[in-house]
Structure 1
Amino acid sequence: MRTLPPPIPVPEAVSRGVLHSLQRRKKLWRFLREFCRAVGRAGGHPYLVGGIVRDLIEGRPGSDIDLMVTGIGFAALGGIVRALPRKELGIRRVVAAGKQFAVYKISTTWSGEEIDVALARSEHSTGPGHRQFEVRTHGVDAREDAS
């Protein structure tokens, strides 16, 4: 396994701005807080990733909510997601999806888009072009996934 660079510190003003933007979205904030607590109790590490992070940094609301988890397996993650308090968090449905890369899709009463929850992964090409990949999801560090 390759050595990963240390994480790059996020400027405090950016971190504060993103945090305040999330806290203003009460239902999303409540969901994230409960999700992160549940994942943490199971020994996992949750991350908010993808387009919503970029959008919040740029001052836009963002609607594409992606969560990445390290430190636990897919079955354990499914148990956590399904055990979240549905009514309190506005969860309508939880579905395991994806053939190539497994993800849990969560439909809520308060978001027009599904929340995608997946494990960190690493992948490398095993064939010509962009068609054949070997994907590893268990034991992947978030910094490795981002590199």
Structure 2
Amino acid sequence: MGMSTNRTLEELRLEIADRLLVKIEGIVDSKEVARRIHKRLENRKYLSILDGVVEFINLRELGIPDDNNCGKVVMASHIHQVLKWNNVDTLINVKPLSRHEAWKMFQDIVGHDIIGLPGIPPIARRVCERCSCLPLLIQKIASSFKWKSDVRSWNAGLKALKP
């Protein structure tokens, strides 16, 4: 999930709940929403990508378990100090690829046989563009798309990658 610079913690919490299909209708208590997110993620494998982070984020307040080795959280920020505030475990300074290199990497990971299926190439290009030429993001996203072999699943995957 992406976090743009102008999103509040509450908006992010609601987006996480929505993407996880956590039922929160009628719930106004943010702690209850976080508890339900936590319950959904507990002991499950997940990858949460918080992009454009510009301040400290209390993952516990979002409902993201901090005692779960199954899940991973990737924070991306152009502000080095923000990553220190968020106590990241590993700091990786990533340089973007050229658009050509990004597309080649994406195709290599997904597989040319999948990329070449009817209707897939234009959607694949849009998915690749959402990766912002960042190799780690391309690796994760492309790996999840390499098992999609029809236009409907590619469109659903693209939709899930909201900017």
The two structures share one fold, judged by TM-score above 0.5? no
Given the two structures, how large is their TM-score scaled by the length of structure 2? Answer: 0.26
TM-score w.r.t. length of structure 1: 0.28
Higher helix proportion (structure 1 or 2)? 2
